[in-house]
Structure 1
């Protein structure tokens, strides 16, 4: 008698489910091939839902991308005995081309959403599960006029799940800096796009967007600015209400001195904004949870150069983003010569800064290649063809 038959015959269904729920995703993918009953159990929506939302089975990892959107490394920030134990490893298994060759929109429940140029005037959006090798294609919400070429998608675009309406959604910001941005929202439940009213953007001049968007309490937040003022966009994903609120961060330096800011969620669920100038100074502001979007308090300022174990006259700092644990990843680049004329002679190090600690000294995670983007990701069995539980 086969081992599978013994297990199926001796163990009650509830115990089998408890055992399988504790296994990693890669093992479950293989176990689906063992027999029909296991395949049916592991593929059931209830099992996938419970397994996906069990953080013990699915510790988040951070994927690091280079300029060509090739995945270089993954960073695991799992805590052991209340101590952070970061590890930087190659991605295994490698992600497929449909995940790599495109603009990253976002990741949720083990799915990665990308936007791709297929030709001079052809674009498409893909939702992919790298482990199950399933990919769903979604048409873009606009027609590109002849001669216009491919429209650019801004980094503040977002993909995620909205629990109260049981819907996966895409927030797509299309590059159109003057006079107003173009914003579309896609509902997986309705399988259609809606173009949002952007009359709230009463901005004159060039708009500079941040690098990402975050969601708190089913409200999406993203930053943009001009050379004179900062703004926060708030979009209620459930009520379909958008606000554009001017904010004051009391910058001593003008916007031109900063790299594009990032926005994140701290452990206390506060929304925060982080900026860093190319040379050393990092500033982090926290949104007052008991006030409106105009009230921001500076959480801390950090001279990354003097507090970092890596010091060089020709060292530059670039924000990569907030991890799921609330840490800030920074790429530190240095060269023996200045100005930098040969990128092959640039040394890149990965630093982690924890804004939740009193000591904000960067933790050195190791040497990396020329990483420009990051994406938080968890492994799952969720299929892009059956997203609604």
Structure 2
């Protein structure tokens, strides 16, 4: 009987069948498939294929952790939509060698599989699934000899009209607190550009330290502003295509409360999760029509059966489970408020850390000299 190698076998299949099969695979498997043969390498690396795979696979969000003042260059990633305790739900990504300071780096946002890693005096865009990365030069404001600015918000967005990734920074003047500065780094142009900041007196609040969210071609952060001498929580948006900031009011019950809040995306809708410490419950609000503030609706209230002290919201799974953390572990609650499962940070070799939410992708960055 004549024997055929695996490579010969796949070459017997029609090209459209091969494409259909590959489109159904996970990113991790596709990265391995690049080494099967040159034709697969070319196909999987093609920009049309990577975009089609991202659109069709509806990639689930994952959590990536990075220790503060740590030396571990392999960062744990958790698929919070799967079981937290299954081996396949946790993978480790190796940080690109020679880019980061060995003692300190943190996240600054994510978009389409890329994350911003901030390290002392430079930024880097990194796709942990493919290893593709690009170092970003220091911004003009950061390079000032006596830098008067402090970073308020940072994020990463994608402009589909120009096929460009943008690093966005909104800063405040340390000497004149109400004066803001804003700048954008274009991957295609390979340079920083100063843009018009939002004309709103606001400040940093504890909740804006949580991951920002990207949807509808916009980056979203939680912010606080003073209105009639009262602190009000709102959502700060940045339209990536128009390069403009704007404000979205939070639901009235949420805006004036001191409860802990986290931005989320549920079924493609901008959402807010609110942890009410007074009665140990979690409210989930969804904006059913984007930018239509009257369309905010409270879609569920979950009373925690076993409340935790210092509970911090992180995200909501596709099935509606709520994921958060306390001082020692990652916790997943079901819709009844019962602890579904947990994962000790000791198992991940983590103590104090930053966390970022990202989606897996095969994307690479457009070259500025294309």
- Secondary structure of 1:53's partner? helix
Q: How many Å separate the matches in 2 of 1:289 and 1:165?
A: 26
Residue in structure 2 matching 1:366, options 343, 364, 367: 343
Counterpart CA distance in 1 for 2:274 and 2:180 is 23
Change (3 A) 1:291 1:60: closer
Change (3 A) 1:276 1:158: farther
Alpha-carbon spacing, 1:25–1:299, altered in 2? closer, same or farther (3 Å): closer
Asked whether the equivalents of residues 68 and 105 of structure 2 are also in contact (C-alpha less than 8 Å), the reply is: no
TM-score by length of 1: 0.72
After superposition, give the CA deviation of every residue in 1:232-275 in whole Å (9 maximum; x if it has no partner).
323322233322356563369864xx55x321122361432535
The aligned counterpart of 1:110 is 113
- The 2-side partners of 1:16 and 1:268 are apart by 30
Query: Is residue 217 of structure 2 the alignment partner of residue 214 of structure 1?
Result: no
CA distance in 2, matches of 1:299, 1:15: 42
- CA distance in structure 2 between the partners assigned to 1:18 and 1:213 by the alignment: 34
Q: Distance in 2 between matches of 1:253 and 1:201?
A: 17
Classify the secondary structure of the residue corresponding to 1:17.
Answer: helix
Given candidates 165, 170, 175, the residue that maps to 1:173 is 170
Q: Scaled by the length of structure 2, what TM-score is found? A: 0.75
- CA apart distance, 1:280: 4.5
- Alignment match, 1:243: 246
User: What secondary structure is seen at the aligned counterpart in 2 of 1:182?
Assistant: strand
Deviation of 1:325 (Å): 6.9
Distance 2:110 2:131 in 1: 15
Contact 2:287 2:296 in 1 (8 A): yes
Cα distance in 2 for residues equivalent to 1:325 and 1:46:
30
Going from structure 1 to structure 2, the CA distance change for 1:163 and 1:12 (only over 3 Å counts) comes to same
For residues 388 and 300 of structure 1, the distance between their equivalents in structure 2, rounded to whole angstroms, comes to 49
1:338 is aligned to none
Shift of 1:4: 5.1
Q: 1:102-160 CA distances to partner (integer Å, 9 max, x unpaired)?
A: 2312233332222221xxxxx222112234333211213224333549x6544x42223
- Alignment partners' CA distance in 2, 1:22 and 1:290: 31
Deviation at 1:331, TM superposition (A): 0.9
SS state at 1:48 partner: helix
In 1, the alpha carbon distance for the partners of 2:113 and 2:23 equals 16
Farther off after superposition, 283-292 or 11-20 = 283-292
Provide the aligned C-alpha RMSD in A: 4.0
Describe the shift of the 1:20–1:246 C-alpha distance in structure 2 as closer, same or farther (beyond 3 A): closer
Contact 1:279–1:316 (8 Å) recurs in 2: no
Give the secondary structure class of the aligned counterpart of 1:157: strand
Aligned pair partner of 2:138 in 114, 137, 140 = 140
The 3-state SS of whatever aligns with 1:29 is helix
What's the counterpart of residue 263 of structure 1?
Answer: 263
* Number of matched pairs: 348
Residues 336-386 of structure 1, C-alpha deviations (whole Å, 9 max, x = no match): xxxxxxxxxxxx1222346xx5x3444332322436433233443322355
Pairing partner for 1:158 from 155, 160, 168: 155
CA contact under 8 A between 2:108 and 2:154: conserved in structure 1? yes
Alpha-carbon distance change, 44 to 218 in structure 1, aligned in 2, over 3 angstroms: closer
Supply the distance in 2 between the matched residues of 1:193 and 1:324 (Cα, whole angstroms).
Answer: 37
Q: Could you say what secondary structure the match of 1:200 adopts?
A: coil
- Cα distance per residue 1:281-336 (max 9 Å; x no partner): 645444463874377555556554xx22x66xxx3212334567765421123xxx
Aligned partner of 2:234 among 231, 244, 248: 231
